Structure 1
Amino acid sequence: MIKSKYQQLAPLFLRLIIGFGFMAHGWAKISRGTGGFEKLLTQAGVPFPHLNALIAPYVELLGGLAIILGAYTAVVAVPLIITMLVAMFYVQGNYGFSAVKTIGLTPEGPQFGPPGYEINLLYIGGLLSLMITGAGAISIDAWRLRKKS
């Protein structure tokens, strides 16, 4: 019985960390200007790098906000998953699975290599989970459903 009482809170924790992560990454790209991101996409061989550099940061920023709020979660998750797949196949895929690669140790501390696709899979898994279970009781989606009934 206790489990079912709190079960609807579980998606909230997923939404908060996933949404914050997407917003942080989107804002970082926007605040620095999308030119550098476009160069990265061009170098990685991403199709339509100029268009993707303009669209992806706003998908991340606004999609992350929608995930935090639990608004249209199943719909918003789709373009976010697509951004993760593009990043995974074009950028992180060449670096293997592990998100943390210690490549050396200096007197200043450890040195890390480029991250693999582990984090991308975690984001995709979390978004798929939210698509399947829903945004939970504390969300705009739940409020909209209650209002409809």
Structure 2
Amino acid sequence: MIDQTRPVVLLVSRIAIGVIFLVHGYQKFVTMGIAGTAEFFAAAGIPLPGLAAPAVAGLEVAGGLALVLGAALPVAGSLLALDMIGAIVFVHGANGLAGDGGYEFVLALAAASLAVGFTGGGALALDNALARRRPAQPATT
């Protein structure tokens, strides 16, 4: 039974985590705006906030979409985990693990991004669908 449910569980997990990143990236682009995000990044001590703001927003949107689709999972999962480690270092770390502004949520997102990124995404991932469609490579001698 576990083997039959694994693809669905991985799909639901990828979608949930991906949507969280999509929403956070969207907020940086639209709700706060890139200028507002850059101001927040500058106040938090993030280096090169004018470059970091669109880069992080773009990463969160593209990486979130990659998780939802199950595409480029090791790359997307690793980059999103690094994004969350940056959020811990620059924004949430000083607030402790739990509590107001704590880093428990971003730590969980970092761990989940790595877990989803390196599971292969399951049978319902785009990466796996593309791998099944590739012709077998001839052996080299």
Give the 3-state SS of the residue equivalent to 1:126 in structure 2. helix
Cα RMSD (Å):
1.3
Question: What's 1:128 paired with?
Answer: 114
Structure with greater strand share of residues: 1
Query: Deviation of residue 62 (structure 1)?
Result: 1.3
SS in 2 for 1:133: coil
More helix by share: 2
1:132, distance to aligned residue in structure 2 (A): 2.6
Q: Amino acid of the residue matched to residue 145 of structure 1? A: A
TM-score computed with the length of structure 2 as normaliser: 0.89
- How far the C-alpha of 1:7 sits from its partner, in A, is 1.9
1:79 aligns with 2:79: yes
What's the CA shift for 1:130?
1.5
TM-score normalised by L of structure 1: 0.84
Structure 1 equivalent of residue 29 of structure 2: 30
Unaligned runs of 5+ in 1: 102-113
Shift of 1:9: 2.3
Q: Provide, for residues 31-86 of structure 1, a one-character-per-residue CA deviation record: whole Å limited to 9, x for no partner.
A: 13111111111111111111101211011011101110101111111221111111
Q: Which moved more, 1:63-72 or 1:129-138?
A: 129-138
Q: Is the 8 A contact 1:11 1:134 kept in 2?
A: no
- Residues 129-138 or 116-125, more deviating: 129-138
The residue identity in structure 2 corresponding to 1:69 is L
CA distance in structure 2 between the aligned counterparts of 1:8 and 1:138, rounded to whole angstroms: 6
User: For residues 36-47 of structure 1, what are the structure 2 equivalents within 5 Å?
Assistant: 36-47=36-47
Find the counterpart in structure 1 of residue 20 from structure 2: 21
Q: How many equivalent residue pairs?
A: 134
Q: Which runs of 5+ in 2 are unaligned?
A: 136-141
Partner of residue 65, structure 1: 65
Identity level (%): 31
Q: 1:6 maps to what in 2? A: 5
Partner of 1:137: 123
Once the two structures are TM-superposed, the CA of residue 124 in structure 1 deviates from its matched residue by 1.2
